[in-house]
Amino acid sequence: MMINCPPSHGGKNRADMQLAIDAAALATNPSIDTIIVVANDSDFSPLFASLRASGKRVVLCEIGSLVGQAAWLLRAMADDCVTYNQALVNA
């Protein structure tokens, strides 16, 4: 399942909130064992902790141009990490 957060008046914060809400809802689905989050914002670290506590495997898909910024915390909290460019090549 892909969750799209189109631009709106709420901007980045609205998209971040929607992603967190949707991912938390997916965590209750027993048929989903892995959740891939495309992000590079350490604000998602509580979400990663919650998903892992729910027994989900969390994969961080970083956006290539932003690799190395605040994502170090997410990398440490994720079960696996790929860059967006890697994901496209391996698809």
* Count helices and strands in the chain by DSSP H and E runs: 4, 3
How far is the first Cα of the chain from the last one, in angstroms, to the nearest whole number?
15
Structural contact between residues 62 and 85, judged by C-beta atoms closer than 8 angstroms: no
Q: Does the predicted TM-score (pTM) go above 0.95? A: no
pLDDT greater than 70 at residue 37: yes
Pair type for strands 80-83 and 57-62: parallel
pLDDT of residue 84: 74
Structural contact between residues 38 and 61, judged by C-beta atoms closer than 8 angstroms: yes
pLDDT of residue 15: 77
Closest CA to 35 of 3, 83, 71: 3
